[in-house]
Structure 1
Amino acid sequence: MTFAWIPLLAAPLAAALSAGLILRLMPLLRRYALARPNARSSHVVPTPQGGGIAVVTALVTVSGLFAGAPEVGPREAWTWLAGCTLALAVLGAVDDLRPLPALPRLAVQILVVGLLVSHLDGRLVPEIPLWLERALATLAGLWFVNLTNFMDGLDWMTVAEIVPVAATLVLFGLAGILPLLPTLVAASLLGAMLGFAPFNRPVAGLFLGDVGSLPVGLVTAWLLWHLAATGGFAAALLLPLVYLADASLTLAARARRRERVWEAHRSHFYQRATVNGLTVRGVVGRVFLANLALAGLAAASVVWPSWPVSLAALAAGGGIVALLLRRFAGIAS
């Protein structure tokens, strides 16, 4: 790719900006944004949250710096993504400091995700009406935003998920599979998360917070939509399959038990894994390795774009995730 230098430069710049902002913000976060342990927490001492402020700032700033280049394409797509990302960051920041009721929080999320979806270019399923495709995309985006938030409950968990996904998307972009704008955004997201990673390593000295998990989920969903729109539908399912499976199966089980699914809990597979004897590093290490395997399967599905290969990759990915979740649940393989 002629302009490969753009994402290759964006990633280290975003990493440096993210880490630098965290160092500057840490005294304020320790003073005003402590997450105190409760019955549903994985930490045992008060820990500052709000690392997502640095992650989102680095992501938007660095991607915006290069989005103005004529090679990247129309800036309107980036403007809508950046605006909606910042809107969810503000919502998350308010919720971090003073928890909001579920319905107003959900209403804002629906509005923001719906606005972003309404400004997507192209179609995924031209055979169905546009309004139906957009409605389904909004539901999918809303779910991805929330499942990213649900899964951000363990040190390095979001790093172990988003870094492999973003890195794979950057490689797809460098190979010409993904357009330059999503590649730039993926590189900026990758760098921003890498800058945050040292501060979140077990035992974490800083959490991402809703100010980070909500917009990171939105940006990742936007990237996966673009991957699917280029013909990589199977790859777009494979890359986040650990998150999709854990969160979706957990939600279904809680709904079946008639629990309040919108309330915080500790019944995710990755949370049960720590109860069943795995260390935090053991859990996130397994998630990271599973994601590397899923990235390889996703790459196979785009390098050899045929239904047999895609179905085989999805079946193999499903098997990997099923084994992982069985281990987390304490079920002998």
Structure 2
Amino acid sequence: MSSFEILLSFIAMGLAAAISAVLIQVTRPLLLRVALAKPNARSSHRIPTPQGAGIAVTAATLLAGGIVIVMAGAPDLTVPLIVFGASLFIAAVGFVDDIRPLPVVPRLLLQAAAVAAVVFVVPSDLKIIPVSPFWLERGLLVLAGVWFVNLVNFMDGLDLMTAAEAVPITLAIALLGCSNHVPAAAALVAAALCGALLGFAPFNRPVARIFLGDVGSLPIGLLVGWCLLELAMRGQVAAALLLPLYYLADATVTLLRRMARREPFWVAHRSHFYQRATDNGLTVQRVVGEVFGLNVVLVLLALTSIAFDSAIADIPLLLAGAFAVAVQLSRFSRSPPT
């Protein structure tokens, strides 16, 4: 990645932050009327709060990324239009679900269509496991992508939580573009998404004035998943697992526990570890701060994995990441001493 492309990433980040903040200010009065999230048994908020800031975050990411790419005119800064199209499509699905909840099966099928479009746009000569059959790997990636999109949505249940997770990941991916470990286009989109979330953060800090909604969490999950896929396709599987490891662990362990208890796992609930932490007395600021700190640690482990570029070194780094996440989950699940 050239110094010019690095400059473009910073421009995209700043432009996306500005667009996101302005659009939130403009759209919030309308969202107060049409997309008000009222407290329920799953909620962490106590007063009705508008949702739908994801409209601004998604629009800012795609606008800033698209503008900078067009202005640059560089052949290696071509983002497949299908990625932008799939992001808009899944954002529309999320917006409909915010206004009038969709049935589970149609919602998952629509999400799967968006994920499949992104997965199959990756060049066919790129594979994570070279000996695996193409259609088997791509099929499994679609399933993993649908789960990743949904877990980002599941984990968006606390003020600033999505920003605390996605900002370190997207910033790391943008930096990895400097060393060509991800394509320049993916690094630029990650930088734009990072900026859009930074523009959103002041409005979502406790007590939040506005929420992302599904219209934001779903395309964020899709775009972050695409960036991580680009990283994994270039041989950095350990780094691609380490970066989102807290989200993967919290959501997956919670799902498996609910299934083991024969609970209707598709129904909204408050049993994620970060939710149990607030129920156990930790403040929202404390929980989000600890998640952000953990994600910084995971970013450092991922960067170390890439620096060593060795399968042997990846094992202890993955174990270290898993241990750090396990400690955090254990802490969140315990009541603090009185």
TM-score normalised to the size of structure 2? 0.96
Alignment partner of 1:73 is 2:70: no
Q: Distance in 2 between matches of 1:116 and 1:164?
A: 22
Is the CA contact (8 Å cut-off) linking 1:80 and 1:116 kept in structure 2?
Answer: yes
Alignment partner of 2:31 out of 19, 29, 32 = 29
Given the alignment, which residue of 181, 184, 188 partners 2:185? 181
Residues 54 and 72 (structure 1 numbering): CA distance in 2 closer, same or farther, change over 3 Å? Answer: farther
Q: Structure 2 stretches of 5 or more lacking a match?
A: none
2:202 to 198, 203, 206: 198
Which of 241, 249, 252 is equivalent to 2:245?
241
Give CA deviations for 1:284-333 in whole Å, capped at 9, x if unaligned: 00000000000000000001111222111101100100000000000789
Matched residue count: 332
Instruction: Determine which of 187, 195, 214 is the counterpart of 1:210.
Output: 214
- Deviation of 1:176 after TM superposition, in Å, equals 2.7
**What's the CA shift for 1:261?**
1.4
Query: Shift in Å at residue 258 of structure 1?
Result: 1.1
Cα deviation for residue 67 of structure 1 reads: 2.7
Report the AA paired with residue 60 of structure 1.
L
Q: Aligned to 1:296, which of 300, 305, 309?
A: 300
Divergent runs of 4+, >2 A: 66-75
Aligned to 1:4: 6
Distance 1:39 1:331, change over 3 A: closer
Distance (Å, rounded) in 1 between the aligned partners of 2:35 and 2:13 = 28
Aligned residue identity for 2:122: L
2:175 maps to which of 171, 178, 184:
171
1:271 corresponds, among 269, 275, 285, to 275
In 2, Cα distance between equivalents of 1:184 and 1:39? 39
The residue matched to 1:45 in structure 2 has which SS?
coil
Q: Deviations over 1:167-216 (max 9, x none)?
A: 11111112332210011110011001000000000111110000000010
Distance 2:11 2:310 in 1: 33
Kept in 1, the 8 Å contact 2:80–2:121? The answer is no
Residues 50, 207 of structure 1: 8 Å contact kept: yes
> What is the CA RMSD across the aligned residues, in angstroms?
1.3
SS in 1 for 2:268: coil
TM-score, normalised to structure 1's length? Answer: 0.97
Change over 3 Å in CA distance of 1:91–1:278 after alignment to 2: same
Conserved 8 A contact 1:84-1:116 = yes
Identical residues among aligned pairs (%): 52
1:80-116 per-position Cα deviation (integer Å, ceiling 9, x unaligned): 1100000000000000001111111011111111122
Kept in 2, the 8 Å contact 1:113–1:138? The answer is yes
Q: What secondary structure, in the 3-state scheme, does the structure 1 residue paired with 2:253 have?
A: helix
Instruction: Spell out, residue by residue over 1:200-239, the C-alpha distance to the aligned partner (whole angstroms, 9 max, x if none).
Output: 0011111000000001000000000011112211000000
**Which residue of 2 is the match for residue 308 of structure 1?**
312
Partner residue in 1 for 2:53? 51
Question: Which stretch of structure 1 is more off in the superposition, 58-67 or 270-279?
Answer: 58-67
Moved more, 90-99 or 2-11: 2-11
Counterpart CA distance in 2 for 1:74 and 1:293 is 30
Q: 1:112 aligns with which of 102, 111, 114?
A: 114
